Amino acid sequence: MMLHVPGVLAPAQVAELRALIDAAPWEDGNATSGKQSALAKVNRQLPEASDAARRAGAQVREAATRSALFMAAALPHTVYPPLFNRYGPGQTFGDHVDNAMRFQRDQNIRVRTDLSATLFLSGPDDYEGGELVVEDNYGSHEVKLPAGDLILYPASSLHRVMPVTRGERVASFFWIQSLIRDDAKRALLFDMDVAIQTLAQEAGLGAPAIVSLTGTYQNLLRMWAEL
């Protein structure tokens, strides 16, 4: 399931975050790449252990987990500390699948990458090209969102970043280990949650049908969750 999560960061928050990371030193994006990714990746990345990356990453993680839509869709167990990359003219990231596991040894963080997230920090008019293209069973999906918006998609998907031809594409990216490992089960729970919230607005949270459906949702979550 792919999901557009709008307004994770407000414009003022984007500007504040950009001021922090733009002033920091950047490095070759392959500093954290696996062997396969290194063959396809040409970009720059904020050093993972830098003070700027950790401060900015904490802001991104806090903003994402404040989003009810993000939480309902991801059902996060662990959120890997967000990273930051930028693509200038001619830079790209070819077809790849994210590593199944991510480790941050100095903080003893280990995450199974069920979901990938990209939070756009450049507006779509700030650059040409640079679309995130995600392949799934229904074809190719091009994503280029307003600054502050996030796209969530299965980390098992084949995806790429198209070459930037003008301007600069800046984004935060991170991975989520979900309480629900299986994407199909996670999608069912998300659809049920959205339906319950919609019906509750019409009938009220205390309506017997809403109470019953909420119980079913919680029991399915209890049955499928991995802690």
Q: Give the H or E element holding residue 111.
A: strand 109-112
pLDDT of residue 36: 61
Reported as a single tens digit per residue, the pLDDT across 4-56 is 999 999 999 999 999 999 999 999 988 665 556 666 799 999 999 999 999 99
Angle between helices 208-224 and 183-203 (to 10 degrees): 160
d(CA 188, CA 161): 29
Q: Strand pairing partners for 117?
A: 152, 174
pLDDT of residue 105: 73
Banded model confidence at residue 79, pLDDT cuts 50, 70, 90? very high
CATH class of 3-178: mainly beta
Measured CA to CA in angstroms, residue 193 lies from 11, 37, 66, 200, 204 at distances of 29, 36, 17, 10, 15
Tell me the domain boundaries of the chain: 3-178, 183-224
- Please indicate whether residue 31 or residue 2 has the higher confidence score (pLDDT): 2
d(CA 206, CA 208): 6
pLDDT of residue 107: 75
Reported as a single tens digit per residue, the pLDDT across 114-149 is 999 999 999 999 999 999 999 998 899 999 999 999
